A and B are shown apart, each in its own frame.
Chain A
């Protein structure tokens, strides 16, 4: 069975993936303008400050949009169809892409409250995902 494409951590993203591996969900907050951002970057996308801090996030979010995918765009997902591709809005503000899991794919709705969970894809990689709250 084909493997899904796995993140290759780099300077900006290493702490995020390390935390995920420990089943912690962390977000960057700017030490200068105070705003959160997602995805992790080397600078704040709101003010370009390099003064960024990692913060434990609530893990609470709502579904901003979703699509039940019946066809895999990458062979690694063939065995997972139908799966729910989603963008969630985190309680802290930023949006992120994820999958909504642990539910009937057809039951997902926009605005639905969801909660963080973790999928240990390999020994080295854990993906944060969301399930109905």
Chain B
């Protein structure tokens, strides 16, 4: 198939987040819709221009998500996509939307997301409720007490066993990400932390400490795409979709083929090949950071370093402001926001960096950015490479 009509012919024309943090007075639907309005306003478009809707809601009342959200906003799309592969869905949607626009199946694509993940829990991180029975393959995991953090901890323990990765190396990621957050007024956690702070924070599921784990917040986000031709006439400088990839390797952590390698090995290779750029061309990386280990495995799987060398790669605050690998520049899921699915925020920040809108956290001369979403339990990935037009 000829991809020449796709890459560099489709642009991101608008991005926005809703109110984020703790927003108990607004529903997740409202957060998604308000982010959509802001992203459309920014582009100089209205909801009546939208003919493609891409969203998924995995919490209560979110079934048939794209129909639900389109109805909520009074949109009647002719292209619809509720692909549900976890937090990476919103990065994978960039690929889907670009394809739909390139083929003429839709003209203006709206990717949106809203979640009241902390307010649903009464403001306290922890389980929403305890189900009594488990149907489907999950009955081979849930009766043993599996959790999201427990699943990622299994991967971290295995990586430490195989490659000698240390808790200090994982902590480097949390510390560097917090430094970026301190430069972002919207970030939830902005006070500096040290490696010792991470190691001394409560052990949740060994070897992962509290500060190895992402936040639990409310948040919404939206991304608007259209053809490059049309985007040139809109309000914001267009950001070009240079290359994309998506993949998944399993649903449950016990079925992961190799606990130390994610699907980013596949989606990343595809994105680089399709974009025709190399790792050295990436000026800024937005890497889904549900946990510190997620970042380390993703950096290796994307090929920024060899397998097993992720720990050494992030040492000496390499990913922090001033380091030679600027990463998670808005403060990431670890310190900025994380409403259960973070993918859309990696796209939003990559776009803002390429537009040069990031103020004190702006990466100088950023021309090419990579965003990588991870969904499920290291199960799925979407990788996109974006460029300044």
Residues of A within 8 A of B (CB): 2-10, 13, 38-39, 64-77, 80, 83, 85-87, 95-99, 110-111, 121, 125, 127
User: Does B153 touch A at the CB level, under 8 Å?
Assistant: yes
Give Cα A110–Cα B155 distance, bound, in whole angstroms: 12
Given A13-B139, A68-B205, A97-B253, verify A6-B147 contact (CB < 8 Å).
no
Give Cα A95–Cα B250 distance, bound, in whole angstroms: 13
A70: which B residues are within 8 A, CB to CB? Answer: 202-206
Q: Are B134 and A6 in contact (CB under 8 A)?
A: yes
User: Does B143 touch A at the CB level, under 8 Å?
Assistant: yes
User: Does B64 touch A at the CB level, under 8 Å?
Assistant: no
A6: which B residues are within 8 A, CB to CB? Answer: 132-134, 143
User: Does B157 touch A at the CB level, under 8 Å?
Assistant: yes
A96: which B residues are within 8 A, CB to CB? Answer: 140, 254
Residues of B within 8 A of A (CB): 127, 130-137, 139-150, 153-158, 161, 202-208, 252-255, 259
A66: which B residues are within 8 A, CB to CB? Answer: 154, 157
Residue from A7, A67, A97 within 8 A of B205 (CB atoms): A67
Query: Which 9 pairs between the two chains have the least Cβ-Cβ distance?
Result: A73-B147, A7-B139, A67-B153, A97-B254, A65-B158, A39-B140, A75-B130, A8-B133, A68-B206
Residue from A10, A73, A83 within 8 A of B135 (CB atoms): A10
Give Cα A87–Cα B378 distance, bound, in whole angstroms: 15
Q: Are A127 and B143 in contact (CB under 8 A)?
A: yes
- CB B164 to nearest CB in A, in angstroms, measures 13
B137: which A residues are within 8 A, CB to CB? Answer: 39
B154: which A residues are within 8 A, CB to CB? Answer: 65-67, 85-87
Given A71-B205, A85-B205, A87-B253, verify A97-B141 contact (CB < 8 Å).
yes
Q: Are B134 and A73 in contact (CB under 8 A)?
A: no
Q: Are B155 and A65 in contact (CB under 8 A)?
A: yes
Can you give 19 A-B contacts (C-beta < 8 A)?
Answer: A2-B130, A5-B133, A7-B140, A8-B133, A8-B135, A10-B135, A39-B137, A65-B259, A66-B157, A68-B206, A69-B204, A70-B203, A74-B127, A74-B131, A87-B154, A95-B254, A96-B254, A110-B158, A121-B143
Q: Are A83 and B145 in contact (CB under 8 A)?
A: yes
Residue from B135, B140, B204 within 8 A of A71 (CB atoms): B204
Q: Are B253 and A7 in contact (CB under 8 A)?
A: no
Given A5-B131, A67-B206, A87-B253, verify A73-B146 contact (CB < 8 Å).
yes
- CB B291 to nearest CB in A, in angstroms, measures 12
Q: Are B130 and A5 in contact (CB under 8 A)?
A: yes
Residue in B closest to A73 when the chains form the complex, CB atoms:
B147
Give Cα A58–Cα B136 distance, bound, in whole angstroms: 25
- CB B287 to nearest CB in A, in angstroms, measures 22
Residue from A5, A13, A73, A80 within 8 A of B150 (CB atoms): A73
Give Cα A34–Cα B205 distance, bound, in whole angstroms: 37
Residue in A closest to B153 when the chains form the complex, CB atoms:
A67
Known A72-B147, A75-B130, A85-B145; 15 more pairs at CB < 8 Å: A4-B145, A6-B133, A39-B255, A65-B157, A66-B157, A69-B150, A70-B203, A71-B205, A73-B149, A75-B127, A85-B153, A87-B154, A87-B253, A110-B157, A127-B144
Q: Are B143 and A85 in contact (CB under 8 A)?
A: no
Residue in B closest to A41 when the chains form the complex, CB atoms:
B137
Residue in B closest to A81 when the chains form the complex, CB atoms:
B145
Residue from B142, B144, B203 within 8 A of A99 (CB atoms): B144
A5: which B residues are within 8 A, CB to CB? Answer: 130-134, 142-143
B145: which A residues are within 8 A, CB to CB? Answer: 4, 69, 72-74, 76-77, 80, 83, 85, 99
